[in-house]
Amino acid sequence: MSNLGDVTGDIEQSSRVRFPGISPRAYEHPADRGALAVLRAVPAVAPIIKAVAAAFSERGERLIQVASSVRVGPKQYPQLDRIRNEVAATFDIEEPPELFVRRSPVVMGETIGIDKPFIVLTTGMVDLFDPEMMRWVIGHETGHAMSGHGLYNTILARLLNLQFALGWMPAGAFAMRAVIAALFEWQRKTELSCDRAGLLACQDPQAALRAHLAFAGDLGGQVDIAEFLAQAKEYEEVEDIRDSVLKLLHTERRTHPMAVVRAAELQRWAATEEYREILTGTYLRREDDRPANNLTDDVKAAARSYKESMTNSADPLIKTINDIGEAVMGAAGKVWSKVAPNGPAE
């Protein structure tokens, strides 16, 4: 039975902050923005995008949902339809993405499409989540649509199929694996971006946390939040370098960050000044957003994000890599000072 009738903890829409003209760059994770900025700046990417867009049948995907799922509207899942429209209003979107509910016990949602993305939720999720959790989910998926993630996710899917076809070619497979690994890393960062979008939609960190608890295995109030978040700390602060290698191997092909780590990441962002500033109206607006001019800023922000993550990490492998990097940079600086004692020419 669906939990959508349970209004416990529901926040009145009138008390929820709206974000007129908000740009998706306002909530996107720095590594997500940086990766997309670099991809869009590479000349060779344009023809690949056109080829993928031509090969991807968005109309066909939508027709499949029309034929096999329930399209949400005023007469079908009306409360979901209300939430869908309220999320669109929160993000100042004129036309909210279509929403379908598909029969499946798996708890999941996805955003499909390039030109006109649409959202698909499973009955497993609708049955389990309360209204504010659903608001977070729909905000998350709307974030994917606003950021245009569908295109690059489609590219990843096509590359995975191509890798399978070229699997007998060692050199080609190795090069393809590097590209695919980079795209998987980007895709995991898009989930962090859209977790933030979900939080902006519901403006309730506890609702977001309940959703992450459900993804990890909580079926309703059987998990202690402090203990759950302590698991993230334990995972992040492993002491054996063998565990660090295992972490890399386990995450290489994952489309989503681990549920416990993902929950901790969003709760940290909810406590930042950046989140509070967005709620008070200080954020990048679409009218001022010029992606081509923001390339350098986005790449620098991504570099800072990774550097801060590595510097603050207690993981022994990450610390070793960071120490080696600092040592190399220090040695390079000494060599440079000898070669050019007066510094680089202006």
Does residue 5 sit within a domain? no
264 occurs within a structural domain: yes
221-256 b/e (C-beta count within 10 Å ≥ 16 → b): eeeeeeebbebbeeebebeeeeebeebeeebeeeee
- What's the mean pLDDT in 177-188? 69
Q: End-to-end CA distance of the chain, in Å?
A: 69
* AA letter at 241: I
Cβ neighbours of residue 95 closer than 8 Å, sequence gap 6 or more: 88
pTM, two decimals, is 0.75
pLDDT at 322: 44
User: Is 317 or 254 the better-scoring residue by pLDDT?
Assistant: 254
pLDDT in tens, 243-252: 455 555 555 5
Strand residues in the chain grouped as ranges (E)? 70-71, 99-102, 109-112, 118-122
- Give the tens place of pLDDT for each residue, 137-147: 999 999 999 99
* pLDDT of 281: 96
Output b/e per residue, 71-102; b: 16+ Cβ within 10 A.
ebeeeebeebbbbbbbbbebbeeeebbbbbbb
Percent of the chain having pLDDT more than 70?
Answer: 58
Give the pairing type, strands 70-71 and 118-122. unpaired
Q: What's residue 107's pLDDT?
A: 93
* 298 falls within a domain: yes
The whole-number average pLDDT for the span 205-223 is 86
Q: Is residue 67 part of a domain?
A: yes
- The pLDDT value recorded for residue 238 is 55
pLDDT beyond 80 at 297: no
Query: Within a domain: residue 157?
Result: yes
More confident residue, 299 or 114: 114
Is residue 165's pLDDT more than 80? no
Percent share of the chain, pLDDT over 90: 38
Does any domain span residue 237? no
Q: What is the pLDDT of residue 59?
A: 80
| pLDDT score for 40 | 59
How high is the pLDDT of residue 20? Answer: 97
- Please tell me the predicted confidence (pLDDT) of residue 58: 76
Supply the mean pLDDT for the chain: 75
What confidence category does residue 29 fall into, taking pLDDT thresholds of 50, 70 and 90?
confident
- Quick one: pLDDT band at residue 320, thresholds 50, 70, 90? very low
Residue 204 located in a structural domain: yes
Distance (Å) of CA 333 to CA 112, 124, 153, 336:
48, 56, 40, 5
Over residues 213-229, mean pLDDT: 82
- Examine the pLDDT at 268 and tell me if it is beyond 80: yes
Q: In the predicted model, is pLDDT for residue 114 greater than 50?
A: yes
| pLDDT over threshold 90, residue 278 | yes
pLDDT at 74 over 50: yes
Residue 303 pLDDT > 70, yes or no? no
How many domains are there within the chain?
Answer: 1
CB atoms within 10 A of CB 55: 9
Any domain includes 51:
yes
Sign of the Cα torsion 165, 169, 170, 171 reads: negative
Q: Enumerate the β-bridge partners of residue 101.
A: 70, 121
Give the per-residue pLDDT at 219: 72
Per-residue model confidence as pLDDT tens digits over 92-109: 999 999 999 999 999 999
* Higher pLDDT among residues 193 and 36, named by residue: 193
- With beta carbons less than 8 A apart as the criterion, state whether 182 and 236 touch: no
Confidence of residue 18 (pLDDT cuts 50, 70, 90): very high
Distance CA 90, CA 138 (A): 12
Q: Which of 44, 194, 22 has its CA nearest to residue 93?
A: 22
Encoded tokens for 222: 């059987």
Per-residue pLDDT reduced to its tens digit, 232-241: 777 677 555 5
Decide: helix, strand or coil at residue 160: helix
In the prediction, which pLDDT does 334 show? 45
Range of the structural domain that residue 196 is part of: 13-227+260-310
339 has a pLDDT exceeding 50? no
